[in-house]
Chains A and B, each alone.
Chain A
Amino acid sequence: GAVVSQHPSRVICKSGTSVKIECRSLDFQATTMFWYRQFPKQSLMLMATSNEGSKATYEQGVEKDKFLINHASLTLSTLTVTSAHPEDSSFYICSAKLPTPTNEKLFFGSGTQLSVL
């Protein structure tokens, strides 16, 4: 199956710094990628939908100035957590959608565990 690479897998940073997370589709072109956030023992919450070449669509309650998303190419989307605070500590997962009409072609990265001290 298709591969989605997410990097880094784990990051620890100081409060106030910015952290960039990359999501790459390795063997296919993804016009649409999704960013999710997962708290311990809770479900995945969709944060935003990233479309190549256009602005991301954010879900209600997600601060777009806090979570900057850039989808500059068909294989790369980045999520930057700006001025991170301890409450931003979470597991962030990206997914990429194959540009086909079938609906099962969605692949997830392995996630990034962010810890803000």
Chain B
Amino acid sequence: GEDVEQSLFLSVREGDSSVINCTYTDSSSTYLYWYKQEPGAGLQLLTYIFSNMDMKQDQRLTVLLNKKDKHLSLRIADTQTGDSAIYFCAAAPGRGGYNKLIFGAGTRLAVHP
């Protein structure tokens, strides 16, 4: 089955860019997602990318997809303290998008002054 992996922790200085990386194993994954979770809260969809795209930009967020290497990254420009949270990468194997999301373990982003 699909396996999604991400590094567990990232620390950046306020104003710098953050890059969170993710790898997945199922090449049939059609949609790949990035979610943000703040303490004690549910998940908030940040952005997603369809597998036929290489890049997607949405304001401060840039998603890069290397389908050959099954590697996904999320870049947050001008990182702010409010960006401190856990970021989950998720893949939707096969057809059907949301029908069965497989999540990574989450990357805890800490932003310091």
Taking beta carbons and an 8 Å cutoff, which residues of A are in contact with B? 4, 6, 9, 34, 41-46, 49, 93, 95, 97, 103-111, 113
Contacts and interface: CB of A to CB of B under 8 A. Distances in A.
A43 B42 contact: no
B103 A43 contact: yes
A43 B91 CA distance: 13
A101 B4 CA distance: 25
B97 A108 contact: no
B96 to A, nearest CB: 8
Interface of B: 4, 8, 31, 33, 35, 40-45, 48, 88, 92, 97-106
Given A41-B8, A43-B88, A43-B103, A106 B42 contact: no
Contacts of B42: 4, 6, 93, 95, 108-111
A43 B6 CA distance: 10
A100 B33 CA distance: 18
B97 to A, nearest CB: 3
A44 B103 contact: yes
B40 A111 contact: yes
B74 to A, nearest CB: 16
24 contacts: A6-B42, A41-B8, A41-B106, A42-B106, A43-B4, A43-B88, A43-B103, A43-B106, A46-B102, A93-B42, A95-B42, A103-B48, A103-B92, A103-B97, A103-B98, A104-B33, A104-B48, A105-B98, A106-B45, A106-B98, A106-B101, A108-B43, A109-B42, A113-B40
